[in-house]
Amino acid sequence: MGSIVLFGPPGAGKGTQATAISQTTGLPQVSTGDMLRAALAQGSELGERAKVFMESGQLVPDEVIIGLVGERLQEDDAGDGVLLDGFPRTIAQAEALQDIETVDLVISIEVPDERIVERICGRFSCADCGAVYHDTFNQTKTEEICDSCSGSEFIRRDDDNEGTVRSRLEAYHHQTAPLADWYHQRRVLFRVDGDRPIDEIRDDILATLKSL
Ligand code: ADP
Ligand code: ADP
Ligand code: ZN
């Protein structure tokens, strides 16, 4: 089996759906956003380069991100493919990926713009395990205790504010959205309505995975 790509606007629910897909397929989740935030936290040169772009809601330059993913795909656990979350985001990135990896399926989670701001502005995640929650749409079962790991420390991303979301949406429409057609032409695109409860979206995705 090759790799799977999770595609969609910021806040579509890619990270939220990734856990079940990873569990079902055994593919390790590779999130470029998480990798960039880790590089930033470590104070690495790559993190420093990416910082201004991330803070302003612009895409990090292709050569930076392509190098990062290229290295990640050479690690041992990536031998049977990976679940890509947040990559590729430009045609140039997709072309570079095509040279090094087979993509079997691109899951496009479709959510209208007017839903995105409320999703992003209410997002928080567990500091220990990274589980993603929402102030109103996906609360923890017990207040301030993570469902997955029982941790009690939560974080919010600096770029999850209304101003940055607008730039991220603009970048999505100009640079990333055209990729849906690119993958459709290659017959690997699966569109799922992401403006529904989390479980319903997950069930549709898992049904499609079974038919692969
Ligand atoms: P992405 O990885 O695509 O940026 P996330 O998975 O982080 O998106 O989800 C963004 C926010 O929206 C999170 O706070 C998450 O809990 C919430 N969310 C995810 N899926 C749904 C859904 N189907 N309905 C409502 N809220 C959702
Ligand atoms: P979101 O939750 O909005 O989908 P991510 O965590 O995937 O956001 O990405 C956060 C930021 O990291 C983006 O706004 C962008 O600056 C940068 N980034 C992540 N993935 C890529 C990529 N494939 N190409 C360019 N920039 C990226
Ligand atoms: Zn947790």
In this structure, what CATH number is given to the domain that contains residue 59?
3.40.50.300
Does residue 22 belong to any structural domain of this protein?
yes
- Select which of 157, 191, 196, 210 is catalytic: 157
Give the pLDDT band of residue 212 (cuts 50, 70, 90): confident
CB atoms within 10 A of CB 208: 13
25-49: per-residue pLDDT in tens?
999 999 999 999 999 999 999 999 9
- Select which of 89, 166, 186, 202 is catalytic: 89
Q: Cα(56)–Cα(142) distance, rounded to whole angstroms?
A: 34
- Which residue range is the domain that position 94 belongs to? 3-112+166-210
CA dist 186 to 4, 70, 79, 85, 106, Å?
Answer: 14, 22, 23, 19, 10
Does residue 93 belong to any structural domain of this protein?
yes
Does residue 118 belong to any structural domain of this protein?
no
Give the pLDDT band of residue 211 (cuts 50, 70, 90): confident
Q: Residue 83 in contact with residue 69, Cβ under 8 Å?
A: no
Does residue 179 belong to any structural domain of this protein?
yes
Ligand 1 closest atom vs CA 194:
23
Does residue 145 belong to any structural domain of this protein?
no
Residues ≥6 apart with Cβ < 8 Å to 70:
96, 100
Does residue 204 belong to any structural domain of this protein?
yes
CA-nearest residue, atom 22 of ligand 1: 198
Does the CB atom of residue 13 touch ligand 2 within 6 A? no
Q: Is the pLDDT of residue 1 over 80?
A: no
Does residue 205 belong to any structural domain of this protein?
yes
Q: What's this model's pTM, rounded to 2 decimal places?
A: 0.97
Strands (E), 25-85: 29-31, 83-85
Q: Residue 208 in contact with residue 22, Cβ under 8 Å?
A: no
Ligand 1 closest atom vs CA 132:
16
DSSP state of 160: -
Does residue 134 belong to any structural domain of this protein?
no
Q: Residue 138 in contact with residue 120, Cβ under 8 Å?
A: no
The domain tally of the chain equals: 1
